[in-house]
Amino acid sequence: MTGKELLLRAVRGEATPRPAWLPFVGCHGGKLIGKGAAEFLRSADLLVDGLKKAYELYRPDGLPVTFDLQLEAEILGCALHWADEVPPSVITHPLAHGKTSIEDLPRIDRTKGRLPVVMSALETLDRDLGDEVAFYGLVCGPFTLALHLRGNDIFLDMFDRPDDVKKLVDYCADVAIQMASLYLSHGAAVIAVVDPMTSQISLEHFETFVTEGVNKVFDWIRDNGGLSSLFVCGDVTRNLEVMCRTHADNISVDEQISMDDLRRLCSENDKSFGGNIKLTSVLLLGDEDDSRREAVEIIDKSGPRGFILAPGCDLPYHTPEKNLQAVAEMVHDEYQREVARASAGEFKEDTFEDVQVPPYRDHKEVIVDVITLDSTSCAPCQYMMEAVERAARDAFVKVYINEHRIKARAGLGMMKKLGVKNLPTICIDGEIVFASIIPDIKTLVKAIEARAIQKNITALAE
């Protein structure tokens, strides 16, 4: 059985002789061949070289042809900011401020934006490796694309203009179908609808604004002979059950989700499932033993049926190759899994004694700490940071904003010291206020101003 055949069996919910292995190699593929993200994501030849190198090193059963949720947004008029170690980020929103309507947006086709680059790379990869590897086409989920187009105002729109939001999400579902059609026709075996912004909304809003749109996409994929996955990074605990009731074949999550819960819900809804290797504390900042231990624990929890081992999101650019090779070893070698189980020692947790939180009481200003994966590469983190920055401008008090990115040890330390369990999270003067949900601007301004008033009252009392 080839790796591709094994992975497709897993997506269909069938038993497999070993775990299927899907490293989400995005910009990390550029690192493997000594190229920055901006150059790597704009060249078909470099995409091919990077993914072939990943195939050689990591022995995957599946690979994404690219991991860039801004492909569609760029074509539709969003300006992008480029960097060397992360995918581009959206910096303008064509539907903001009512200057443009949906009818004015460009159409999606193979000739637009960077799609010629991606489709050319996929054709080559499918020709050279398609018998061995199941290539994934990653499309930007309808709600995330709607937010790219509208900006943070969409959170107010859900209360004030719900019909407009439904119309926009339906439009974005049609865009996802167009993208899925292109990927399937050029060799993709699985279409993953990646919709990270759905981790930032309530269950009610998911059912109202998301379910119908994603089901429209999944039904189209199934009717056209494809397999599908709903892939949401972020803490989707409150929406996990409704995600598992969508029409996707597979549900994939990140480290913030219990694999026991995911396995149970997917079994109840006849879904396969995937995840959820820790992206930063293990793969990026850990070592080979950490990676082996993590992989074996997840494999043992997940069982032999309908399971795909994967990181929780796009691999960080500087992820050490040896850590991913250690995971691959656990996937391919049952004997080495037994060795890892037998030799697994107690994990020595970092206490971060050198990481200090600010003396919040000593500051007249309000200090807002935002714990993120990385706002330059994670859409929920980016839009949470944008909301905080806008609220700080609107509030009547001076606000200091600190982003703590857990891609660095110091960020992990602040996460631990502040007691944060979910990403992204807003803390105001050291207190968790909004965990894995982006508030509308008015609500956030009120929270900041309320804290300022409380500080003033406390200061007067003392």
For residue 118, the model assigns a pLDDT of 98
Q: How far apart are CA 119 and CA 184, in angstroms?
A: 10
Q: How far apart are CA 125 and CA 303, in angstroms?
A: 31
For residue 376, the model assigns a pLDDT of 87
For residue 458, the model assigns a pLDDT of 75
CATH of 3-343 given 3.40.50.720, 3.40.50.300, 3.20.20.210, 3.40.50.2300: 3.20.20.210
Radius of gyration of the chain (CA): 22
Within the chain, all domains assigned CATH 3.40.30.10 are found at: 360-461
Within the chain, all domains assigned CATH 3.20.20.210 are found at: 3-343
Q: How far apart are CA 444 and CA 117, in angstroms?
A: 41
Q: How many CA atoms lie within 13 A of 237 on its CB side?
A: 12
For residue 361, the model assigns a pLDDT of 87
Write out the chain's pLDDT in tens, 462 residues: 999 999 999 999 999 999 999 999 999 999 999 999 999 999 999 999 999 999 999 999 999 999 999 999 999 999 999 999 999 999 999 999 776 789 999 989 999 999 999 999 999 999 999 999 999 999 999 999 999 999 999 999 999 999 999 999 999 999 999 999 999 999 999 999 999 999 999 999 999 999 999 999 999 999 999 999 999 988 999 999 999 999 999 999 999 999 999 999 999 999 999 999 999 999 999 999 999 999 999 999 999 999 999 999 999 999 999 999 999 999 999 999 999 888 876 556 788 989 999 999 888 899 999 999 999 889 999 999 999 999 999 999 999 999 999 989 999 999 999 999 888 999 999 999 999 999 999 999 999 999 999 888 776 676
For residue 462, the model assigns a pLDDT of 64
CA 418, 419, 421, 427: dihedral to nearest 10 degrees?
-40
For residue 364, the model assigns a pLDDT of 87
DSSP state letters, 214-240: HHHHHHHHHHTT-EEEEE--S--GGGH
Q: How far apart are CA 183 and CA 139, in angstroms?
A: 9
| Strands of the sheet with 250-252, listed across from one edge | 20-21, 307-311, 272-277, 250-252, 227-231, 190-194, 134-140, 62-64
Class of the domain covering 360-461: alpha beta
Structure token pair of residue 302? 């997940």
Q: How far apart are CA 163 and CA 165, in angstroms?
A: 5
CA 197 to chain centre: 9
| Helices H / strands E in the chain, number of each | 19, 14
For residue 99, the model assigns a pLDDT of 67
For residue 289, the model assigns a pLDDT of 94
* Number of CB atoms found within 10 A of residue 314's CB: 25
For residue 345, the model assigns a pLDDT of 64
For residue 347, the model assigns a pLDDT of 56
